[in-house]
Structure 1
Amino acid sequence: MSLVSPAAAEALRAWLAGQKTLKGAADNTIEAYRHDVLDFIAFMAAHSGAPQGLTALARITVSDMRAWMARTRGSDVGARSLARKLSAVKSFYRWLSAREGFEPTAVLSTRAPKFQRKLPRPLAEDAARAMIDRVELQARQDWVAARDMAVVMVLYGCGLRISEALSLTGTDLPLPPVLRITGKGGKERVVPVIPAARDAVDRYAGLCPHPLEADQPLFRGVRGGALNPRAIQKVMEQARLQLGLPASATPHAMRHSFATHLLNAGGDLRAIQELLGHASLSTTQAYTAVDTARLMQVYEASHPRATAHTKGAA
Structure 2
Amino acid sequence: MKSTDFAMYLNKYFTVYLPNVKGMTPLTIDSYRYTFILFLTCLQEELNISANRVQMSDLSYKNVLLFLEWLQKQRLNSISTRNQRQAAINSFVRFLMYEFPECLDNYQRIVGIPIKKAPQKEISYMKTDGVKLMMSQIDVASSGGLRDYVMLSLLYTTGMRVSELISIRVKDLSLYEPYTLLLRGKGHKSRYVPLMKDIIPFIHQYLVQEGYDRQEKLSEWLFKNHMKSQLTRQGINYLVGKYAKRAREINSEIIPADFSPHKMRHTTAMGLVDSGVDLIYIRDLLGHVSVKTTEVYAKAEVSRKREAIEAASKEIVPPEKAQWDNNTDLKQWLKTFNR
Tell me which interval the TM-score lies in, with the shorter structure as reference length. 0.7 to 0.9
Decide which moves more: 219-228 or 241-250.
219-228
Give the aligned partner of residue 310 of structure 2: 300
Match of 1:19 in 2: 18
Instruction: Kindly report the root-mean-square deviation, in angstroms, between the aligned alpha carbons of the 2 structures.
Output: 4.1
Q: Which amino acid aligns with 1:294?
A: R
Alpha-carbon distance in structure 2 between the residues aligned to 1:140 and 1:264: 29
Q: What SS is found at the alignment partner of 2:181? A: strand
Provide the C-alpha distance between the structure 1 equivalents of 2:292 and 2:144, rounded to a whole number of angstroms: 38
Where structure 1 has 5 or more consecutive residues not aligned to the other structure, the ranges are none
- Any residues of structure 2 matched to 1:6-155 within 5 Å, and which? 6-16=4-14, 17-37=16-36, 39-40=38-39, 53-54=55-56, 56=57, 60-61=60-61, 63=62, 65-80=64-79, 81-101=81-101, 102-103=104-105, 104-132=107-135, 134-135=136-137, 138-139=138-139, 141=141, 145-155=145-155
CA distance in 1, matches of 2:243, 2:264: 14
Residue 172 of structure 1, CA deviation: 4.8
| Corresponding position of 2:182 | 180
Write the distance in 2 (CA, Å) between the matches of 1:145 and 1:218: 15
Unaligned runs of 5+ in 2: 323-339
Pairs within 5 Å for 1:235-274: 235-244=243-252, 245-274=255-284
Q: Secondary structure at the match of 1:179?
A: strand
TM-score, normalised with respect to structure 1? 0.74
Cα distance in 2 for partners of 1:251, 1:53 equals 41
Structure with the bigger RCO (C-alpha within 8 Å, sep 6+) is: 1
SS of residue paired to 2:277: coil
Q: Distance in 1 between matches of 2:42 and 2:224?
A: 48
TM-score (norm 2): 0.69
For the residues of structure 1 that align with 2:301 and 2:71, how far apart are their CA atoms? 35
Count of residues paired in the alignment: 303
Q: Which structure has the larger Rg?
A: 2
1:10-53 Cα distance to aligned partner (Å, 9 max, x none): 33233334333454434343233234346547767986989665
For residues 76 and 164 of structure 1, do their structure 2 counterparts lie closer, same or farther at Cα, with a shift above 3 Å needed?
closer
Q: 1:252 to 1:75 in 2, by over 3 A?
A: closer
Letter in 1 for 2:203: V
Deviations 1:176-224 (A, max 9, x none): 5222112345432221222223244235446x3x422424344567898
In the superposition, relative to structure 1, how do residues 294 and 19 fare at CA in structure 2: closer, same or farther (>3 Å)?
farther
Identity %, equivalent residues: 24
TM-aligned CA deviation for residue 8 of structure 1: 3.3
Preserved contact between residue 65 and residue 110 of structure 1 (Cα < 8 Å): no
* Partner SS for 1:181: strand
Q: Distance between the aligned counterparts of 1:73 and 1:220, measured in 2?
A: 37
